[in-house]
């Protein structure tokens, strides 16, 4: 049995979420191949081989210069061959490309997959309702299409690296698949200027901030720790902070080493965005708040008193 992973690249190599997906695919006890569409960064094929990928299908051609979900799905389809399962990271592009493939092949697709029970008919476990409920779903079609939830498994090199043979392909793309295509990209720092999704420390603030002026101390704490500021949905919907700072089911999903939510009760919609944090230090007036009971550490009390005190102690120890 062989399975195919749609791998995304960043400037320097293969995206972390794609390497996680490769690690997930290895767990299926199958030969793992991968497909990269467009530019293949130097060393990326070697990186995939280290993670156990047997063949790296590399799709090139004019059609793949600018991003188009439908065209990229054509490349994945061309590489899929007899693959029993096609996997993609649960990123916007991973989900979009996989959905095009699902529609074209008229097969089932599961999103937010966290684990799989391979059998005659594949059964996966996936997150629904923002991760507060799990669903077992059957995917009898071949190929079964799985978008893997972020941090479902950790990326890790394979015990025995594979060869990682690069196979070039230039699939033909139907003109209709190029109609919906990016015509321009405007680099905008504000999209994630603080690096919210990649920061190793995130300080969060919720309704407890009290108003648009209530973020001074939490911003300072984030700065002192070299981290980023994130907020709950209520904060953005009240217009206290911009939407790109929102953590949650309809905002950013974060996975820092340390998350410090201040005055955030921890509703499901917020938890969906921060559940992958390695350590949580909650600051809240309510010891029974879900964010406090789910946290690793907590301080009970008013964030407006506690956070300035922490900032002061940090500055004092630094002299």
Partner 1 sequence: MTDVLVCIKRVPDVGGEVTLTADGQGVDARHVGFTVSEHENCAVELAVQVAAATGGRATVLTLGPAEAVEQLRSALAVGCDDAVLIEVCEPGSYGPADVAREIAAVVADRGDELVLLGNDAADTGDFQVGIRLAHLLGRPVVNGVRTVAVTDGVLVARGDGVDGVETYELPLPAVATVLEGGVEPRYPSLKGRMKAKKAPIDTRAPRSAPAGSGRVRLLLPPAQPSTVDVLGEGPQAAAAVVDLLERMGVAR
| Shortest Cβ 92–partner 1 spacing (Å) | 5
Query: HEC string of 151-178?
Result: CCCCCCCCCCCCCCEEEEECCCCCHHHH
Q: Report the site for partner 1 in 119-138 (rule: CB under 8 A).
A: 123, 127-138
**CB 160 to partner 1: min, Å:** 32
Number of neighbours of residue 259 by Cβ within 10 angstroms? 29
Tell me how far, at minimum, the Cβ of 156 lies from partner 1, in Å. 22
Query: Which region, judged by CB under 8 A, interacts with partner 1, from 34-42, 63-71, 79-87, 153-161?
Result: 63-71
154 or 312: whose CB is closer to partner 1? 312
127 is in an annotated binding site: no
107 — phi, psi (to 5°)?
Answer: -125, 165
Three-class SS of residue 257?
A: coil
Nearest approach, Cβ of 318 to partner 1 (angstroms)?
8
Q: Give the integer Cα–Cα distance in Å for 178 and 163.
A: 34
Question: Is residue 269 a known part of a binding site?
Answer: yes
**Cβ(14)–Cβ(164) below 8 Å:** no
313 binds partner 1 (CB under 8 A): yes
Residue 211 phi, psi dihedral angles, 5° rounding: 170, 175
* Residue 99 near residue 31, CB atoms below 8 Å: no
Q: Is 265 annotated as a binding residue?
A: yes
Under the binding rule (CB under 8 A), the answer on residue 103 touching partner 1 is: yes
Query: Rule CB under 8 A: which of 1-60 touch partner 1?
Result: none
Is position 232 annotated in a ligand binding site? yes
**Contact stretch for partner 1 (CB under 8 A) within 22-30, 161-169, 174-182, 212-220:** 174-182
- Binding partner 1 (rule: CB under 8 A), the pick from 147, 152, 218, 231 is 147
Interface with partner 1 includes 115 (CB under 8 A)? no
Q: How many residues bind partner 1 (CB under 8 A)?
A: 91
- Contact segment (CB under 8 A) with partner 1 among 17-25, 57-65, 97-105, 157-165 equals 97-105
- Residue 95 CB neighbours (<10 A): 17
Name the token pair of 214: 């209530």
Where b means 16+ CB within 10 Å and e means fewer, 19-48 reads bbbbbbbbebebbbbbbbbbebeeebbbbb
Tokens 């217009």 — which residue?
239
Q: Are 164 and 53 in contact (CB under 8 A)?
A: yes
Q: Which of 84, 104, 166, 169 binds partner 1 (CB under 8 A)?
A: 104
x/- contact string, 280-299, with partner 1 (CB under 8 A)? -xx----x--x-xxxxxxxx
Closest distance to partner 1 from the beta carbon of 159 (Å): 29
Residue 123 contacts by C-beta under 8 Å, 6 or more apart in sequence? Answer: 116, 117, 136, 137, 138, 139
In the complex, least distance from residue 4 CB atom to partner 1, rounded to whole angstroms = 18
Binders of partner 1 in range 249-268 (CB under 8 A) = 249-251, 257-258, 267-268
- Residue 241 in contact with partner 1, rule: CB under 8 A: no
Could you list the residues known to form a binding site, using ranges.
207, 232-233, 246-250, 263-270, 284
């Amino acid at each position: 049995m062989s399975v195919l992973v749609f791998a995304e690249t960043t400037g320097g190599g293969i995206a972390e979420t794609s390497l996680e997906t490769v690690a997930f695919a290895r767990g299926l006890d199958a030969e793992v191949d991968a497909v990269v569409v467009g530019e293949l960064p130097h060393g990326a094929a070697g990186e995939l081989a280290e993670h156990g990928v047997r063949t790296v299908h590399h799709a090139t051609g004019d059609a793949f210069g600018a991003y188009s979900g439908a065209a990229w799905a054509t490349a994945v389809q061309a590489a899929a061959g007899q693959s029993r399962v096609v996997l993609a990271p649960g990123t916007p592009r991973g989900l979009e490309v996989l959905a095009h493939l699902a529609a074209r092949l008229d097969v089932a697709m599961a999103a937010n997959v966290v684990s799989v029970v391979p059998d005659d008919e594949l059964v996966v476990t996936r997150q629904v309702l923002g991760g507060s409920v799990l669903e077992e779903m059957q995917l009898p079609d071949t190929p079964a299409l799985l978008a893997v939830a972020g941090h479902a498994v950790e990326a890790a090199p394979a015990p025995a690296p594979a060869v990682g043979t690069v196979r070039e392909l230039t699939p033909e793309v139907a003109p209709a698949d190029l109609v919906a295509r990016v015509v321009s990209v405007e680099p905008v720092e504000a999209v994630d200027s603080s690096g919210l999704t990649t920061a190793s420390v995130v300080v969060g603030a919720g309704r407890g901030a009290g108003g648009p002026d209530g973020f001074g101390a939490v911003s300072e704490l984030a700065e002192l720790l070299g981290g980023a500021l994130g907020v709950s949905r209520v904060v953005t919907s009240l217009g206290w902070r911009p939407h790109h700072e929102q953590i949650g089911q309809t905002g950013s999903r974060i996975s820092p080493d340390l998350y410090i939510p201040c005055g955030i009760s921890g509703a499901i919609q917020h938890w969906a965005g921060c559940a992958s944090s390695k350590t949580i230090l909650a600051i809240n007036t309510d010891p029974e708040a879900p964010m406090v009971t789910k946290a690793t550490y907590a301080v009970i009390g008013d964030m407006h008193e506690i956070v300035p005190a922490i900032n002061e102690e940090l500055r004092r120890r630094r002299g």
